[in-house]
Amino acid sequence: MRIPTAALFGLFFTGLYFFIAIFADYIAPYGLGEIVGDVWEPARLGYFLGLTPDGYDEPQYWLGTDQIGRDLLTRMIYGGQTTIWIATMATILSFSTGTIMGFVAAVNGGWIDQALSRFIDLVMSIPSLIVALVVLSVLDTTVTTLILVMGLLDSTRVFRLARAVAVDITVMDYVEAARLRGEKVAWIIFREILPNALSPLVAEMGLRFIFMVLFISTLSFLGIGVQPPAADWGGIVKDNKDGINFGIGAALYPAVAIATLAISVNLVADWILNRTTSLKGGRG
Amino acid sequence: MATPLLSVRGLKIGARVYPPDAKPHDIDIVHGVDFDVEAGKVLGLIGESGAGKSTIGLAAMAYGRGGVKLTGGEVWVNGRDVLQSGTRDVRRLRGAEVTYVSQSAAASFPPAKRLMEQVIEAAVLQGKFSKSDAEARAIELFRKVDLPEPETIGNRFPHQVSGGQLQRCMTALALCPEPDLVVFDEPTTALDVTTQIDVLKAIKEAIRDTGVAALYITHDLAVVAQVSDHIMVLRQGEMVEYGTTDQIINAPVEDYTKALVSVRSIEHVEKTPTETPLLRVEGITARYKGTKFDVLKNINVELHPGQTLAVVGESGSGKSTLARVITGLLPPSQGNIHFNGRDLSAALKTRTRDDLRELQMIYQMADTAMNPRQTVGTIIGRPLEFYFGLKGAEKKKRIKELLEEIEMGDGFIDRYPAELSGGQKQRVCIARALAAKPKLIICDEVTSALDPLVADGILKLLLDLQKVEDVAYLFITHDLATVRAIADSIAVMYQGEVARYGGKTDVLSPPFDDYTDLLLSSVPEMRLGWLEEVIANRKMASGGN
Amino acid sequence: MHPVIKLVAQRFALGIILLLAASVIIFVGTTILPGDVAQQILGQGATPENLATVRAELGLNDPPLTRYFDWLGGVLQGDLGTALTNGRDIASTMSDKMGKTLFLAFWAAAISVPLAIFLGLVAVRYKDRWPDKLISSVTLTTISIPEFLIGYLLIYFVAVKLGWAPSVAMINDSMTFVEKLHSISIPVAALTLVVLAHMMRMTRAAILNVMQSPYIETAELKGLSTFEVIRKHAFPNAVAPIVNVVMINLAYLVVGVVVIEVVFTYPGMGQYLVDHVVKRDVPVVQAAGLMFAAIYILLNMTADIVSILANPRLRHPK
């Protein structure tokens, strides 16, 4: 099987980010809260790229230091760990809830489908950021509540997709044929529907994961996500945003990290979707 | 001899394909075709799917649909090669000299514009007529193609007229600019047979009255025989045979043409009913949930073991609903079904496993009837496992036997449905049904999506299997030729009722009721002059009233 | 009754039901959940007596249903209550902030809508060629960056490095119109980038969908020029889906505003909401949340009504 270059690129970077997240404790050069230098020391990376003004020595830290003198590379690595962990858990929660409810609605039809679908319509009639803000205004913002709020809010979208995909499949003659044969609901869901629904769902999983990364970063940036002293990418922006007005770009590293992660996952999701739709696409 | 109106020389057409596992590449669809159409004459282009006939038709307008490219040859229209003409010149050709009637008029009319505006658009735009003249001409054409209320029908929107009427509107649209040539691309294929004959008649008379030349593209030789002067038989982008309609129909030279002409000539002698019927449908009345009218009204039919009952009717007649009632997918509001000596429970859920096993079903679209993620072996093997508990080598042996029965080798066991041809897919579906050792198989339009020769193969297979397995068929179809080929008894359905029921010979012999008469006389016959005869007969009958 | 009027009326009624439901969700979200508002306001050092007083003041001892209807009754009369943090009337504070937010959103929409349609048309015109691919990869990138980072990237490069426009978007009544516009230019640019990608992609899909329908082929085979095909056949049929796309994305803009206002410390509704979420000022959060939900529901309803009105099958029934 040939993997296209774009997908390889995506797979490599997605893998790299997860690797760094998992082994953050071994990779990070300093401790999470360790103050190692002055406020906003310039980056060594920038020095090599010729971005540091003349007359400076070669800086010590690859990405420089943050607003209270902590090593930014360390902060970014631990921040990535937090962000990716929360996004992954929220995606898993949103996916398991969303697909199970969606399939149940599609296979059963009738009032179960109606009740679930109308309820989801209701929740989706308000933007999820607004609902999250409203709910988090009274809840303690721990990692668990964040995962629960984000995952459950997002499961509405997964529900719609899973239901739509499953409904498309249940009207197929081969599902009818299985029903006429006398097959049980479990066989129909797991043997007839799931294999055909898997590819759009897996591709969607990638997109939901990206959305979760953006969501948690936004919440942390607004000050209602991950709380200090823990670090996450959105929080790093919030901490260092004042530097921007002095031309210090420390707050922009998360932009690069989030964008590359999101694009990589996108490329992988695209590839999965294309690869599997072509399987269905009849004779070549 | 005068220069022909349309002259095609060495026409080559290619397309770019995007196969899933390879790089996009170009393939040839048409490999060099030559033909002429003289002014006022009709040439029929006939072939099965993939023959390239529509593509050739559109080439007469210098048009390639989708990614299709006209790669070589010459297309001369009125003395100039349109493949070499500039955009402006080609635009003047389209809609003025050559016009087009598509298979699906419903999709070809933009939904938000009134019919009149669309019909006269090309004629006015090309400067052939002023707006008021074009409208007058359109009304005249509406009358010519037998549209109701020709004066005012132009004020309607496309969705406000029926499919057959819209197809006739499209014919009026094509004729409105007084073109020299009209390309008819399967104009009656999507229509019911009794509607088809009206549209066919309208087209034939319009061609005759306006003296326009035409390219008539279809897969149905009997249809094209009614309207064309010459016929060209195409196969996989190449010409097989060319001749006058008379010669092609009555004295075909090539084997392929002979096969096309003799299609549906399967002889099947009606069997006599046995003492006890296998299936007895008693007073079935049914409606869909949330609707207010009965789709089936008091249906009574019987089917004897090892025989075939053909349920024939047009769209909306209720024939497929009858299948849903018998399978238990739609419990009837009244009536009973007796099957194999016992009462069949109305709902699927309460039927016994033996009920389910003995009553199998084959679908119209074999594509959607098989799970694309399962191999042929899994598809055929599942009923063996499910009903008989077969496993391992035993199961595999039986799968191989079944593949033999449907005339496919055991090399197909590990293939996926996407790797099979249309005919092979339908055969696998038949094998899946047979695997259950059923007493009755419901066949729902099983040949309508197939090319005629492939369909013939499937029908022959079904007849052979009936002899070997002693299985009964409830054969649902809209195609009377199929009915003649396979049925022992026939139920003609019309608007949810059985209009006529009995043994094949009885049903197909006069005296007829009105609907059966209309239906039978509407089926195109593969001989010259059939359409004129029907029209004359109908005129006489209506004159007599 | 004409079926279109019936459908529009139905959709309108659904909008009102959704609004009521949104008020329930917001109310339930802030009261039934395990957090204790009184505890939140007073913090960890609260004595039981203080807690009891605050609870009584807020009416927290009443049954939830009573409290909901009291609140809803107030909202319907334009009384949104008072802020816990500063005791000011929420309605009057919010009307000023709402004006500022709408000013910002209006200019973002005024730029992004025509731009998205134009880019969508370009992408369709040059489908699968480099302009299409360029547009699609740039939009993929902007979709992958959160709104607030787009804001900071613009501040860093446009305001700080180039110095073209201020990084903090302050507006007040004493400023002239042009001064105001200059002041909000970077936030408007950021918001435009936020919605542009989605809107452009959806516009492209909507136009392509129309261009691939058989009636476009009919028009081409009538001898119409490409321009005429688009003007007379494609455009009239693409208008409804495009309007739909625009409405959906304007609804999306509402969410983008919240974050962008915080980035540029712009004194609008979004900043107001986020500030009070952090301060756990529940009445303000409820009121502001309801406002955002109402705008979102209204825009989605408009999108649906446009689709109904544009459907010829409904306008001219059989």
pLDDT band of B264, cuts 50, 70, 90: low
Phi, psi of B104 (to 5 degrees): -110, 90
CA dist B436 and B432 (Å) reads: 7
**What count of CB pairs under 8 Å joins B to C?**
70
If you average pLDDT over residues B259-268, what whole number do you get? 76
List chains touching A (3+ CB pairs under 8 A).
Answer: B, C
Tell me: pLDDT of C220 over 90: no
Contact between C257 and C296 under an 8 Å Cβ cutoff? The reply is no
Q: Which long-range contacts (CB under 8 A, 24 or more apart) does C275-281 make?
A: C276/A137, C276/C83, C276/C85, C277/A133, C277/A134, C277/A136, C277/A137, C277/A222, C277/A224, C278/A222, C278/A223, C278/A224, C279/C85, C280/A137, C280/A138, C280/C37, C280/C40, C280/C41, C281/A137, C281/C83, C281/C84, C281/C85
List chains touching C (3+ CB pairs under 8 A).
Answer: A, B
Distance from CA of A126 to the nearest CA of C (A): 5
- Considering only CA atoms, which of A20, A83, A88, A14 is closest in space to residue A264? A14
CA dist A207 and C285 (Å) reads: 30
Of A173, A182, A278, which is closest to B363 when you measure between CB atoms? A173
Residues of chain A where predicted confidence (pLDDT) is lower than 50: 278-284
Residue C206: partners with Cβ closer than 8 Å, 6 or more residues away: C120, C238, C241, C242, C244, C245
The answer, for C160 touching chain A at a CB cutoff of 8 Å, is: yes
Question: In this complex, do A131 and C156 lie within 8 Å of one another by their Cβ atoms?
Answer: no
B203: number of CA atoms within 13 Å, CB side?
36
Distance from CA of A222 to the nearest CA of C (A): 7
CA dist A92 and B18 (Å) reads: 35
Structure tokens at A248: 């210090």
The answer, for A5 touching chain C at a CB cutoff of 8 Å, is: no
- Higher pLDDT: C276 or A59? It is C276
Q: What is the mean pLDDT of chain C?
A: 81
If you average pLDDT over residues B158-177, what whole number do you get? 88
- Higher pLDDT: B101 or C244? It is B101
Alpha helices (runs of H) in B218-352, residue ranges in sequence order:
221-227, 245-250, 255-261, 319-327
The reported pLDDT for the residue numbered A57 is 66
The reported pLDDT for the residue numbered A282 is 31
* pTM across the whole model: 0.77
Give the amino acid at B264.
Answer: R
Nearest CA in chain B to C214: B108
Residue C167 belongs to what H/E stretch? none
Distance from CA of B172 to the nearest CA of C (A): 13
Distance from CA of B171 to the nearest CA of C (A): 13
- Higher pLDDT: B193 or A2? It is B193
The reported pLDDT for the residue numbered B202 is 87
Structure tokens at B176: 């409105």
Give the amino acid at C267.
Answer: P
Distance from CA of C179 to the nearest CA of A (A): 21
Phi, psi of C86 (to 5 degrees): -130, 5
If you average pLDDT over residues B457-481, what whole number do you get? 90
If you average pLDDT over residues B213-239, what whole number do you get? 90
End-to-end CA distance of chain B: 49
Q: Which of C148, C259, C281 to mutate to test the interface with A (most CBs of A within 10 A)?
A: C148
Structure tokens at A165: 């995909």
The reported pLDDT for the residue numbered B322 is 92
- Considering only CA atoms, which of B60, B177, B179 is closest in space to residue B118? B177
Question: In this complex, do B371 and A192 lie within 8 Å of one another by their Cβ atoms?
Answer: yes
Give the amino acid at B357.
Answer: R
- Higher pLDDT: C52 or B154? It is B154
Chain C, window 124-143: residues with a beta carbon less than 8 angstroms from a chain A beta carbon: 140-141, 143
- The share of chain B scoring above pLDDT 70, in percent, equals 98
Question: In this complex, do A195 and B371 lie within 8 Å of one another by their Cβ atoms?
Answer: yes
The reported pLDDT for the residue numbered A278 is 45
CA dist B199 and B193 (Å) reads: 10
- Higher pLDDT: B170 or C308? It is B170
- Does residue A4 have a cis bond before it (omega within 30 degrees)? no
If you average pLDDT over residues C225-230, what whole number do you get? 82
Question: In this complex, do B95 and C224 lie within 8 Å of one another by their Cβ atoms?
Answer: yes
CA dist A267 and B280 (Å) reads: 59
Question: In this complex, do C255 and A130 lie within 8 Å of one another by their Cβ atoms?
Answer: yes
- Higher pLDDT: C126 or A188? It is A188
Burial class (CB in 10 A: 0-12, 13-18, 19+), C220: buried
List C-alpha distances in Å: C24 to C19, C32, C283. 9, 11, 14
